[in-house]
Amino acid sequence: MRLLRIQIGKPQRFAALLLLFFLAECLWVVNRQQLTEQDYRFARCGREMWEQPSPLAGYFTTCGNLGGDGTFAYRVAGFPLTAQRLVLLGVDKLRSPENRLYANGSLNGSTWEARHEIGSVKYLLHLPFILFAIWLGGGLWWVTRRLFGNEGAFFALGLYCCCPEVVRFSVTPNNDVLAMWGLYGLVYTAMGVAHAMQGPLRKWKPRIVLLTVALGLTAAAHLIAALFGLAAALVLMIYLAERRRSYVMQILVFATVAAMVILFGFYSFRPAPFSYVFTGGAARFWFSFEGVRQFFLSTANAPIVVATAVAAVLYLAVRRCRYFGNTVPLVMAVLLFPLVTTQVVTTPWLWALPFLFTFLGGVFSDVFESRHRKLFLGMAGMVLVTQALACLAVLPAIAR
């Protein structure tokens, strides 16, 4: 079966089943959630960004100028609600004037007080973040399959879909899941640009545009994630570009300037609130092992911890496991896990998880091709089954 010249075979169907399992987990949690004050905050301020009401004098929204807290999540949360509002108004205009529900062509009340006119708020508010997490899962599978083959890709995607922390952050409005999505895409897009630079110029442009968009959206989620990704992109592109290294700085300067324009657009091209990006302290960071302890000491993540320990031993002991494809995600995960921000609330250790799963998929795919294949296939299967059961067991706690 082919769709838009994309082959959909057994590997693609199996990956889709894993992502559908992840979607089912998230929807089960959302169905049992109650809207919180944080949900209302993201909904209110996200709608204000799209609908541009009159906020407090001197501020971008009633949530403030959001110089430290990225605007991406607010716009993602508010977009479905604003879209439904416009649909309601459009349908109402098709009625005769005496039968219209909304006087003067607008919903009753202010942007915030009109919330009772919109249905299924809980799902409209949470589903976009679930879809971004699914998008990241698809990207993780695509990257690992190209690098390591089907078996390593399924192992990495299975761990991702059964990770309680990924589910937890996917079912609430937050910038961290968007930063995780953007940073992973930014790093591997940069590597794709560097590889394309070995070929004709016509192959550069689409990937450079994609790199620019990835950088801009990541910056709109969390500035420190974009800066970290930009630094990683510089190192990786210089390493991979070889005879075309003189073009790397030009490409990254262009991408950075264009990304700033994208970020400016998230502030509705208003200079005053945009200036808080540079003064809000979002790029200040330090290092702490609290996030590492939080993740690796959780019993719900025990199978992932076991797989990580085995992969670390194999990486150090087996020469065939130590190559560029495995080293890059390992280094990214090691650098991100202890990273903490000092001025804004973020969870950088979450951003490390896709890189960790990529590393695990790569190492295990290498030993799957060794003479101990059956042993490690059995171990990988037990890890996936145990992690799935552990994730299902903690879903009620996530829903509370």
DSSP 225-255: HHHHHHHHHHHHHHHHHGGGGGGHHHHHHHH
Given 79, 106, 123, which residue is the final one in a domain? 123
Burial class (CB in 10 A: 0-12, 13-18, 19+), 21: middle
Given 83, 105, 123, which residue is the final one in a domain? 123
d(CA 288, CA 186): 24
The helix or strand, by DSSP H or E, that contains position 151, with its residue range, turns out to be helix 150-161
**Nearby residues of 25 by Cβ (< 8 Å), 6 or more positions away:** 161, 167, 391, 392, 395
State the pLDDT at residue 64: 67
State the pLDDT at residue 271: 86
The verdict on 73 and 191 lying in the same domain is no
| Per-residue confidence band for 399, with pLDDT thresholds at 50, 70 and 90 | confident
- 8 Å CB contact between 60 and 273: yes
State the pLDDT at residue 108: 46
Region 188-192 average pLDDT: 95
Most confident segment among 8-12, 56-60, 87-91, 208-212: 208-212
State the pLDDT at residue 6: 62
Residue 153 has pLDDT above 60, yes or no: yes
State the pLDDT at residue 181: 97
- 8 Å CB contact between 163 and 304: yes
The verdict on 242 and 359 lying in the same domain is yes
| Per-residue confidence band for 3, with pLDDT thresholds at 50, 70 and 90 | very low
Residue 256 has pLDDT above 60, yes or no: yes
Bridge partner residues of 64 (DSSP): 61
Q: Which of 134, 172, 125 is nearest to 24 (CA)?
A: 134
The verdict on 98 and 170 lying in the same domain is no
Residue 1 has pLDDT above 60, yes or no: no
Least confident stretch, 52-56, 86-90, 247-251: 52-56
The verdict on 22 and 42 lying in the same domain is no
Given 123, 154, 177, which residue is the final one in a domain? 123
Any domain includes 3:
no
Residue 342 has pLDDT above 80, yes or no: yes
Residue 111 has pLDDT above 70, yes or no: no
Q: Length of the chain in residues, anyone?
A: 400
State the pLDDT at residue 273: 83
Any domain includes 2:
no
Strands (E), the chain: 2-3, 6-7, 285-287, 339-341
The residue type at 341: T
Region 207-223 average pLDDT: 95
Any domain includes 320:
yes
Q: Which domain holds residue 156?
A: 8-36+124-399
Any domain includes 302:
yes
Residue 126 has pLDDT above 70, yes or no: yes
> Mean pLDDT, the chain, as a whole number?
88
The verdict on 31 and 45 lying in the same domain is no
State the pLDDT at residue 53: 61
d(CA 17, CA 11): 10
State the pLDDT at residue 112: 44
State the pLDDT at residue 275: 84
Which one is predicted more confidently, 91 or 244? 244
Residue 109 has pLDDT above 50, yes or no: no
Least confident stretch, 91-100, 331-340, 383-392: 91-100
The verdict on 113 and 207 lying in the same domain is no
For residue 198, the SS3 value is coil
The full DSSP string for 68-130 is SS-SHHHHHHHHHHHHHHHHHHHHHHTS-GGG-SSGGGS-SS-TTGGGGGSS-HHHHHHHHHH
d(CA 140, CA 135): 9
| Per-residue confidence band for 283, with pLDDT thresholds at 50, 70 and 90 | confident
What would the two tokens of residue 172 be?
Answer: 């609430």
The verdict on 225 and 368 lying in the same domain is yes
The verdict on 113 and 153 lying in the same domain is no
The verdict on 290 and 361 lying in the same domain is yes
The verdict on 201 and 238 lying in the same domain is yes
**Nearby residues of 356 by Cβ (< 8 Å), 6 or more positions away:** 304, 308, 329, 333
The verdict on 111 and 177 lying in the same domain is no
State the pLDDT at residue 199: 83
The residue type at 319: R
Quick one: CA dihedral 264, 274, 169, 143, positive or negative? Answer: positive
Q: How many domains does the chain have?
A: 2
The verdict on 103 and 179 lying in the same domain is no
Region 193-213 average pLDDT: 90
Region 233-255 average pLDDT: 93
Residue 131 has pLDDT above 60, yes or no: yes
Any domain includes 366:
yes
Q: What is the largest CA-CA distance in the chain?
A: 79
**Nearby residues of 338 by Cβ (< 8 Å), 6 or more positions away:** 287, 288, 289, 291, 292, 349
